[in-house]
Chain A
Amino acid sequence: MKLRFSLIVIALNLAIVAALLLGATEVENIWRYLFSPGFDSESTNHLILWEIRIPRIIAAILIGAALGLAGAIAQSAANNPLADPAILGTSAGASLGVVIAVLLNVAEVGSLLAVLFAVVGALLATALTFTWARTAGALIIIGIGTSALFSAIVGLLITSTNNPEIRSISFWSLGSLALATPENLLIIAPVFVVCLVIAIKIAPQLDLLALGDISVRHLGRSPKRIRLKAFVIIGLLVAVSVSTVGSISFLALAAPHIARIVFGGRNRILTIASSLIGALILLIGDTIARSALPPYELPIGLITALLGAPILILLVRKAALAWK
């Protein structure tokens, strides 16, 4: 277990080094700029490293970790391997919150107020999914319905107004880490840390949900109350990431599955492992997205899917063989 964690942490560090070195522009003397932050502070190199590349690396790590954590909690809370914030409607709800905030001219993408709107939207959509779904089996299909409903409203709002910020929203709805600013990071970082701490704390309760609601109630615990805590965490995590960099699909589904196959099903380890794997995939994905075809930037969602999908498919196939 320690070895596996060490390997992932080493991989994350290697990915950080690669992300520092790679980009549309080559930064000469990069280590000097890095280790003496005051060095040549007026130069383009300094600007690229400290104003663009490093904030973006931090954003990839934080948002990847947030989505990995949200996905792990979503699957445990729903007791369903298909549950993820996109399928439960959480992401679409967060998007609607941001779009409404921007169209009403009360907030800009990535601002604290937009995050608050996103939180409300995310929690509303998730709550609707779980209220409408009477059984655990209906959860996924109802979630897809809620998600489609909220996404359709987002699409209609975007196409039916002449608001000048609409272009930024259209771009944002595809997802891009280029949108993250250092100010955003100051919102995302504390939210992620608080959510991770709470998630680790309620992990044993999330474990119980694997027994199904009836058995959880028989143990004298309330499955609904456990799920409510989980939803608030998922809502917060998805809201901060969607409201700053848009919807990044697939990561929240893949990271926990990969983490589970490597580290097992207990939530206390899973929350940390899934965060690390989410951070790793998004950081590698974003580095490829911005450096593969300079000066063009590839859509991050495509790269995370290209990276995560083969790993997921291979691991699940291997696990399935072991099960026989």
Chain B
Amino acid sequence: MIKVKDLTLQRNNRELFSGLNAAMAKGSISAIVGPNGCGKSSLLLALAGDLKPASGEIFIDEKNLQDLSDLAQSQLRSMALQERTFWLPMTVREVLELGQTDQAIEGIEQVASDLGLTQLLNNLVTTLSVGQIQRVEIARTLLRECPIYFFDEPFAAQDLASKGALIEIFKRLRSSGKTLVLVVHSEVEQLSWCDQVIQLGS
């Protein structure tokens, strides 16, 4: 359970939004929407503990995020970033293995199959398209076993089929009690599969 209380975020001395209150229940999917530059990704970074609030507080399971160590935070959430570039000639499998536990590494075949990456496992990440790299990033995020998952624009470079497959994966995570927060660029009407939509900057 995530609780956001009177949250104000600033970046480069510019206020993105102020006084935001929100709650994301356990086993739910929340979508953050809003125009470009309204602070969607910044909100996700704040929830992940990477951006310090200008004011207000974030609680995860009743604990103030700021009081949690990096290690404690890492066990709570897994996050897929929006943009990722690789210059090192590592294979997709090697990237997926980075920093993972042995148990997570055993799950690579399954996650790759879910995300249509099986054929690419031995390809170099430097040869992939933007959409494929994004799916690798999502796979990397899903391999980690955490109660909370954050996804920054997971659909941005995906075709309709991949988008559908991703939505199914997200729903499955929700059924298993995970809390999901996504930044998306969809129309609110298309988000009926989400439990709540948090509108920023309107």
Main secondary structure of the interface of B (DSSP, over half): mixed
Determine how close the nearest CB of chain A comes to the CB of B197; give it in whole angstroms: 25
Select one of B50, B99, B126 contacting A214, CB under 8 A: B50
- B161 interface residue (CB < 8 Å to A): no
Given contacts A210-B88, A265-B88, contact A220 B70 (CB under 8 A): yes
Select one of A218, A221, A222, A261 contacting B79, CB under 8 A: A218
- B98 interface residue (CB < 8 Å to A): yes
- A14 interface residue (CB < 8 Å to B): no
Interface residues of B in 74-88 (CB under 8 A from A): 74-75, 77-79, 81, 84, 86-88
Given contacts A265-B88, A265-B89, contact A219 B127 (CB under 8 A): no
- A13 interface residue (CB < 8 Å to B): no
Q: Is B87's CB under 8 angstroms from A81's CB?
A: yes
Query: B127 — nearest CB in chain A belongs to which residue?
Result: A323
Query: A265 — nearest CB in chain B belongs to which residue?
Result: B88
- Please classify how large the interface on chain B is, using the bins under 10, 10 to 19, 20 to 34, 35 or more: 20 to 34
Select one of B71, B81, B91, B98 contacting A210, CB under 8 A: B98
Determine how close the nearest CB of chain A comes to the CB of B13; give it in whole angstroms: 15
Q: Is B50's CB under 8 angstroms from A219's CB?
A: no
- Inter-chain contacts of A212 with B (CB < 8 A): 81, 84
Select one of A221, A222, A264, A322 contacting B90, CB under 8 A: A264
Complex CA–CA separation, A221 to B144 (angstroms): 14
Determine how close the nearest CB of chain A comes to the CB of B108; give it in whole angstroms: 16
Determine how close the nearest CB of chain B comes to the CB of A150; give it in whole angstroms: 27
Determine how close the nearest CB of chain B comes to the CB of A111; give it in whole angstroms: 38
21 A-B pairs with C-beta separation under 8 A: A207-B90, A207-B98, A208-B98, A208-B99, A210-B90, A211-B140, A212-B84, A214-B45, A214-B48, A215-B81, A217-B50, A218-B74, A218-B77, A220-B71, A221-B74, A260-B88, A261-B89, A264-B94, A265-B88, A265-B90, A323-B124
| Interface, chain A (partner B; CB < 8 A) | 76, 80-81, 207-208, 210-212, 214-222, 260-261, 264-266, 319, 322-323
| Interface, chain B (partner A; CB < 8 A) | 45, 48, 50, 70-71, 73-75, 77-79, 81, 84, 86-91, 94-95, 98-99, 124, 126-127, 140
